[in-house]
Chain A
Amino acid sequence: MPLPIPPLTTEKVISLVVGSAIFYVILLLIGRVTGKWISGMTDYFAGGREVSILLIASVFMGIGFAGSMISAIPALAIGWGFWPTVWYFIPWAVVLGIFGVGVGPLIRRTGIHTIAEWMGQKYGSGSRMAASWATIIGLLGVTAAQYVGLGRILQVLTGWPYWQSTLVAMVIVSLYMYLGGLWAVSVEAFAQLLFGVVGVLGVIFWAGITFGWVDWLALNVPPHVFAPLGSLGTKMLAGFTYTNIPTWLLTWFMLVFGSQYYWIMMASARSDRAAKIGPIIGGVGATIIFAVWMALAGVYAFAIGGPPGPQTWDVRGAYGLLMRFMPPGLDAFLLLAMVAAALTTAGPPIIAMSSVATRDIYCTIKRKRPDEALLAGRIFTVFFSLITWLVAVFWVYGAELMLALGCALLGPLAVTFILGIAIKRVSPGGVMAGIIAGIIGVLIWQFWPSTPPLWVKYAHMSWIALLITAVVTLVVSMFTKPKYFALPTWRPPKPVGFSSTMKIGDDVIEHAKLIDSLAKPVNIFGLADRLEKIRFRSRSPTILEALFPILYRRDKNV
Chain B
Amino acid sequence: MSEKLSDEEVKILESIRSGRNFMTDFVDGLGLPPLRAAELTEKLEQAGYIVRNGYTGSKYYMFHLTEKGLGVLPKLTPEEEELAKDGLTKEDLLVLNAIKKLQEEKKPIVAETVSKASGVSTTRLVTVVNYLIRIGCLSEHGMIRRHVKITAKGEELLNKHKAKITSSEKT
Contact = CB atoms under 8 A, between A and B. Distances in A.
Interface of A: 37, 39-40, 42-43, 48-50, 52, 54-55, 103, 105-106, 108-113, 117, 120-122, 125, 128, 187, 190, 270-271, 363, 369-371, 421-424, 483-486, 492-496, 498-502, 507-508, 511, 514-515
A52 B144 contact: yes
Interface stretch (B1-9, B17-25, B92-100, B157-165): B17-25
A11 to B, nearest CB: 37
A117 B62 contact: no
Contact of B51 (A43, A106, A494, A507): A494
6 contacts: A49-B28, A49-B130, A111-B25, A121-B35, A423-B56, A492-B51
B144 A55 contact: yes
Interface in B114-171: 122-123, 126, 130, 133, 140, 142-146
Contact of B126 (A42, A187, A369, A507): A42
B64 A485 contact: no
B126 A498 contact: no
A421 B42 CA distance: 16
Contact of A111 (B34, B76, B112, B142): B34
Given A37-B112, A50-B111, A109 B24 contact: yes
Range class of the B interface residue count = 35 or more
B144 A54 contact: yes
B31, B67, B142, B146, most chain A CB atoms within 10 A:
B146
Main secondary structure of the interface of B (DSSP, over half): helix
A103 B61 CA distance: 12
B58 A106 contact: yes
A50 B145 contact: yes
B53 interface: yes
A493 B68 contact: yes
Contact of A39 (B18, B55, B60, B112): B112
A39, A105, A111, A422, most chain B CB atoms within 10 A:
A111
Nearest to B62: A109
A498 to B, nearest CB: 5
A32 B165 CA distance: 37
Given A493-B48, A499-B17, A424 B55 contact: yes
Contact of A49 (B54, B64, B87, B126): B126
B89 to A, nearest CB: 11
Nearest to B26: A111
A120 B35 contact: yes
Pairs of residues from A and B, 5 with the lowest C-beta to C-beta distance, nearest first: A111-B27, A495-B64, A111-B24, A106-B58, A50-B146
A344 to B, nearest CB: 16
B122 A270 contact: no
A121 B38 contact: yes
B52 interface: yes
Contacts, number: 155
Contact of B37 (A111, A125, A371): A111
Interface string B86-109: 010000000000000000000000
B12 interface: no
A40 B112 CA distance: 12
Contacts of B19: 498, 502
B123 A40 contact: yes
Contact of A43 (B33, B53, B122, B142): B122
A230 B53 CA distance: 50
Interface in B39-81: 42, 45-46, 48, 51-62, 64-68, 70, 76, 81
Given A106-B57, A111-B27, A514-B54, 8 more contacts: A48-B122, A49-B24, A54-B143, A120-B34, A421-B57, A421-B60, A498-B17, A502-B85
A52 B147 CA distance: 11
Contact of B143 (A48, A49, A52, A496): A52
B1 to A, nearest CB: 15
B84 interface: yes
A422 B56 contact: yes
A257 to B, nearest CB: 14
B34 A110 contact: yes
A110 B23 contact: yes
Contact of A109 (B33, B61, B64, B144): B61
A39 B115 CA distance: 11
A136 to B, nearest CB: 18
A496 B22 contact: no
A495 B49 CA distance: 9
A50, A106, A501, most chain B CB atoms within 10 A:
A50
A486 B65 contact: no
Given A50-B146, A111-B34, A369-B33, A494 B87 contact: no
A52 B142 contact: yes
A112 B34 contact: yes
A495 B87 CA distance: 18
A332 B118 CA distance: 48
A48 B126 contact: yes
B66 A110 contact: no
B65 A498 contact: yes
A511 B64 contact: yes
A120 B76 CA distance: 35
A484 B42 contact: yes
A186 to B, nearest CB: 8
Contacts of B66: 493-496
Given A37-B145, A42-B28, A117-B34, A501 B64 contact: no
B64 A508 contact: yes
Contacts of A495: 51, 64-66
A111 B22 contact: yes
Nearest to B63: A495
A46 B57 CA distance: 22
Contacts of A190: 144
A508 B62 CA distance: 10
Nearest to B143: A54
Nearest to B129: A50
Nearest to A107: B58
A121 B34 contact: yes
A476 B67 CA distance: 37
Contacts of A105: 58
B53 A502 contact: no
Contact of B46 (A108, A270, A484, A507): A484
Contact of B23 (A40, A109, A485, A496): A109
Contacts of B84: 498-499, 501-502
Contact of A42 (B22, B25, B57, B123): B123
B64 A492 contact: no
